[in-house]
Amino acid sequence: MTLGMGMAATTYFIFLLVPVLILWYIYWRIKHQHMIDLAEQFPGPKGYPLIGNALLTVGSPHEMFKTALYLASEYHNIGRAWLGPRLVIGLADPRDVEIILSSHEHIEKAVEYKFFKPWFGNGLLISSGTTWKAHRKLIAPTFHLNILKGFIDLFNANSREVVKKLRQENGKTFDCHDHLSEATVEILLETVMGVSKKTQGKSGYDYAMAVMKMCAILHIRQVKIWLRPDWIFKFTTYQETQKKLLAMIHSLTEKVFEKKRKAFEDGIRGSLANVPEDILRKDVSVPDENIIENPLDGTMMFGQSVGIKDDLDGDVNVGDKKRYPFLETLIEAAKSGTQLTEEEVKNQVSTIMFEGHDTTAAASSFFLCLMGAHPDVQEKVHQEMYAIFGNSDRPVTYSDTLEMKYLERCLLETLRLYPPVPLIARKINQDVKLASGNYTVPAGCTVIIGTYVLHRNPDIYTNPDEFNPDNFLPERCIKRPYYAFIPFSAGPRGCVGRKYAILKLKVLLATIMRNFVVKSDASESEYKLQADIILKRQEGFKIRLEPKHLIS
């Protein structure tokens, strides 16, 4: 009897639900007719009513990555998909990419970034409007090259510590990403945050792991549309895990902020980290200031084409003003209370700790794997290191980094083939006419720029899947469209840590390459890449290291 009543109630409910869904669907179509019409112009897979192409997001991160690549090749750099009621337009033609990224109109992040909010609050990566503008204006000068040059000692000291740890792996096959993510967390703490890495009480590795797990949860929410609504998410185990991870991540933010605030109030300026005597340059107040920043003969400036200028380029007018690194500047601004609050400073700390570590950890891990997979290229890097340093184990100087032309080409080629941020997404608030064909992106949709696909466009790069550092010879760079290589994004919302990342990676990778020969059993075709917020190898970044015998 009870079972019969239960079944009747369920049948009744379904009878009611079906017409409600049909009515809602009709209403939704009428309301979004303009968007639907414009979407029809774009090629794309056939979808189902209500769910659209949401089934494409089923599968493991590696399977999703393969699906995305299949769609990109099928629809040749332009296409659309419906994730339920959300229209997503994928672009990978440099002409279209330029229209979106160079604009001051299309700077709002896509709704998919909102899942970062409990982590970053209104931090720079996800904020918008006047808050973003004001904070960007405050933060960009703290990544000015003259401030970054002052970090060279700390880059050296931490790179040497990485080498010490790597020596313990001698001859074994191991995942280099573990060591590199620990190191990048610690370097960030000691440079832009200006505190000792001991501040956190644990190793950078624990923090890095918590960040990786958080990213996995956020990514699941971005692609599995049924997990998007908060009222569903909170019934999943992900919610509980997210809470614990955020508690761990935010406790580091809190400690860093308190430590630095106290030091600032006590009148202490500069990093609280110790630099060993043998690395310390005597006069860090004028660190290599007169050296001209022009590392790739004027065709590529710290990972960006010279034709693209942003607020990190040229002479940011710091003049006589105090030049404080990132966290000191923000603490000072919070004290005046006009530009941002203490809570907002903490949001920026969380943002930079994420953006600044996982990206560079992925870039350096891919770099080492590629060295192992291409011994002929590695040999040339070793020769360059010998030409610069000979048999000396002296620390790297800023002018040395300008001499590392071949290593730089290898690094840029790594970022081309394996861009740590493989997708960039924007919310489009007004119709946008594209340049590559007769397409108009409708207002209200999400545009996804597929950096990974863009960087492997056969119309731009001959043998696009081949690792060839000569792709970054000045004469080749100059012939390419500016927006054909954008590992750091570009335009007003380009990466604020671009110059920091390139400088740090050069010191770190040069120090590793001076000490080791990298071996790898896996060829590139065996890499299982996974769709994630940051690009990774699903099987880990496995390499072996052999000590480098200095040439005599």
List, as residue ranges, the binding site for heme. 495
Binding mask 477-506 for ligand HEM (x = CB under 6 A): ----------xxx---x-xxx--xx-----
What string of DSSP letters covers 511-548? Answer: HHHHHEEEE-S--GGG--EE-SSS-EETT--EEEEEEP
> Of 93 and 355, which has the nearer Cβ to ligand HEM?
355
Tell me the number of residues near ligand HEM by CB under 6 A. Answer: 23
> Of 38 and 477, which has the nearer Cβ to ligand HEM?
477
Residue that is written with structure tokens 């015998």 in the block: 549
Say whether residue 185 binds ligand HEM (CB under 6 A).
no
User: Which one of residues 87, 99, 100, 124 is an interface residue with ligand HEM (CB under 6 A)?
Assistant: 124
- CB of residue 3 to ligand HEM, shortest distance in Å: 52
> Of 295 and 487, which has the nearer Cβ to ligand HEM?
487
Q: Angle at the Cα of 141 (from 508 to 112), degrees rounded to 5?
A: 80
Which DSSP symbol is given to 226?
A: G
Contact between 40 and 517 (Cβ < 8 Å): no
For the chain, what's the residue count? 552
User: Which one of residues 64, 352, 388, 454 is an interface residue with ligand HEM (CB under 6 A)?
Assistant: 352
Q: Which two tokens stand for residue 109?
A: 């992040």
> Of 124 and 477, which has the nearer Cβ to ligand HEM?
124
Say whether residue 355 binds ligand HEM (CB under 6 A).
yes
> Of 358 and 544, which has the nearer Cβ to ligand HEM?
358
Residue 360 Rama label (left phi>0; alpha psi -120 to 50; beta): alpha
- CB of residue 347 to ligand HEM, shortest distance in Å: 11
Q: Angle at the Cα of 455 (from 293 to 305), degrees rounded to 5?
A: 25
Say whether residue 422 binds ligand HEM (CB under 6 A).
no
> Of 359 and 397, which has the nearer Cβ to ligand HEM?
359
**Phi/psi of residue 78, each to 5°?**
-150, 135
- CB of residue 507 to ligand HEM, shortest distance in Å: 13
The number of C-alpha atoms within 13 Å of 272 and in the hemisphere containing its C-beta is 22
Dihedral of CA atoms 513, 517, 521, 523 in degrees, nearest 10, equals 40
The span from the CA of 482 to the CA of 349, in Å, is 31
- DSSP reduced 3-state for 152: helix
- CB of residue 541 to ligand HEM, shortest distance in Å: 15
The span from the CA of 410 to the CA of 472, in Å, is 8
Residue type, 130: T
> Of 218 and 495, which has the nearer Cβ to ligand HEM?
495
- CB of residue 138 to ligand HEM, shortest distance in Å: 11
Say whether residue 420 binds ligand HEM (CB under 6 A).
yes
Say whether residue 356 binds ligand HEM (CB under 6 A).
yes
The span from the CA of 489 to the CA of 408, in Å, is 18
- CB of residue 356 to ligand HEM, shortest distance in Å: 3
Say whether residue 340 binds ligand HEM (CB under 6 A).
no
Say whether residue 363 binds ligand HEM (CB under 6 A).
yes
- List binders of ligand HEM among 20-79 (CB under 6 A): none
Residue that is written with structure tokens 């923090």 in the block: 207
- CB of residue 497 to ligand HEM, shortest distance in Å: 2
Helix (H) or strand (E) run with residue 207 in it:
helix 204-223
> Of 38 and 496, which has the nearer Cβ to ligand HEM?
496
**Phi/psi of residue 427, each to 5°?**
-90, 130
Say whether residue 446 binds ligand HEM (CB under 6 A).
no
Contact between 483 and 477 (Cβ < 8 Å): no
- List binders of ligand HEM among 424-443 (CB under 6 A): 424
- CB of residue 43 to ligand HEM, shortest distance in Å: 25
Contact between 157 and 275 (Cβ < 8 Å): yes
- CB of residue 210 to ligand HEM, shortest distance in Å: 18
Residue that is written with structure tokens 């001991």 in the block: 198
> For ligand HEM, which stretch binds (CB under 6 A), given 144-152, 154-162, 284-292, 356-364?
356-364
> Of 38 and 124, which has the nearer Cβ to ligand HEM?
124
Contacts of the segment 19-23: beta carbons below 8 A, 24+ positions apart: 21/50
Residues engaged in binding ligand HEM (CB under 6 A): 124-125, 136, 192, 351-352, 355-356, 359-360, 363, 420-421, 424, 487-489, 493, 495-497, 500-501
